[in-house]
Amino acid sequence: MVESRVQTTNIFRRRDGRWAMVHHHGSPIMT
């Protein structure tokens, strides 16, 4: 089994009274 790690960024914005994800990014973490 290969193990990996990912760093993520999620940006949310409130639209019409609800939270919506407007951006998602994931990058591998090199150790």
The number of folded domains in the chain is 1
Q: pTM score, two decimals? A: 0.63
CA distance 19 to 14: 4
| E-state strands within the chain | 6-15, 18-28
Nearest-CA neighbor of 11 among 1, 25, 20, 23?
Answer: 23
Q: What length is written for the chain? A: 31
pLDDT, mean of residues 2-31: 95
CA distance 12 to 30: 27
Residue 18 is part of which domain span?
A: 1-31
What mean pLDDT value characterizes the chain? 95
Q: Which two tokens stand for residue 24?
A: 């998602």
